[in-house]
Amino acid sequence: MIQIKNREEIELMRESALIVSKTLGMIAAEIKPGVTTLHLDKLAEEFIRDHDAYPAFLGMYGFPNSLCMSPNAQVVHGIPNDKPLENGDIISVDCGSYKNGFYGDHAYTFEVGEVSPEVKKLVQVTKESLYKGIAAFKLGNRIGDLGYAIQEHAENNGYGVVRELVGHGLGKKMHEDPEIPNYGRRGRGKKFKEGMVIAIEPMINMGTYQTNHLSDGWTILTKDGLPSAHFEHDVALVNGKPELLSTYKYIYEALGITSDEEDAFRQNL
Ligand code: MG
Ligand code: MG
């Protein structure tokens, strides 16, 4: 069942979303060649606890860490380890928080040092497809419209859209109804309703959409070994339009990037 949130609940969810946004901003400043994902995971856990929140992924379904860190051909659910990041890597960092009874869930794919133009484009198009999906999260549209918007942009660029994992409703549970696929057909699926809060999270592969599982029981990777990128925002449906609860502004501040991407997005709705 879809859990509709009132204004007060959405404000509490914004707090949880801001914690994960700030955590990824802190991580952004630390990502460089030579740093281990396990080190970054410890920093994130401490940071989230310092903000009077709980690192939601830690122990969830038995996951051993606070961040999912998935480099290169790993799609999602990578487990932090002591292998140093290398120049030219990309790494998807997915972060969860729990505060005041509500979850935040947020992801960004970072470039480590100098990344090849082909991989840079994959990262850029994946982020663009996230915003295409968010723009389709409005009154009058259906779940299929959102998935279509993401899929069309990714496939027009020759990329594969992961089918195995999807976005989701977000609230008092990390994964609520409905499922939000990153693929779909226009006019199909459930209608969006005022007060819905969802996590939209395209996972886009440079090659085939097909995936494999690592024997660790968690990590999902591309079947052809080509890179994959992943971005995730928490979004509420307010006054018929999508309202971003999470923000990449802390990441851009940390990286010294001037971006009006979120403001421009709001103005174009
Ligand atoms: Mg996530
Ligand atoms: Mg999620």
Q: Where are the domains of the chain?
A: 7-265
The CB density around residue 185, as the number of other CB atoms within 10 Å, is: 13
Residue holding tokens 């307010």?
238
CA of 63 relative to ligand 1 center, distance in Å: 13
The CB density around residue 25, as the number of other CB atoms within 10 Å, is: 20
d(CA 261, CA 133) in angstroms, rounded, equals: 15
Q: Which ligand minimizes its atom distance to the CA of 200?
A: 2
d(CA 210, CA 16) in angstroms, rounded, equals: 32
Q: Which ligand minimizes its atom distance to the CA of 165?
A: 2
Give the model's pLDDT for residue 240: 98
pLDDT in tens, 11-70: 999 999 999 999 999 999 999 999 999 999 999 999 999 999 999 999 999 999 999 999
Give the model's pLDDT for residue 151: 98
The CB density around residue 253, as the number of other CB atoms within 10 Å, is: 14
Please state the CATH superfamily assignment of the domain spanning residues 7-265 in this structure: Creatinase/methionine aminopeptidase superfamily (3.90.230.10)
Give the model's pLDDT for residue 181: 98
Preceding peptide of 181 cis, ω within 30°: no
Give the model's pLDDT for residue 159: 99
CA of 57 relative to ligand 1 center, distance in Å: 9
Give the model's pLDDT for residue 82: 98
Residues of the chain with pLDDT under 50: none
CA of 200 relative to ligand 2 center, distance in Å: 7
CA of 121 relative to ligand 2 center, distance in Å: 23
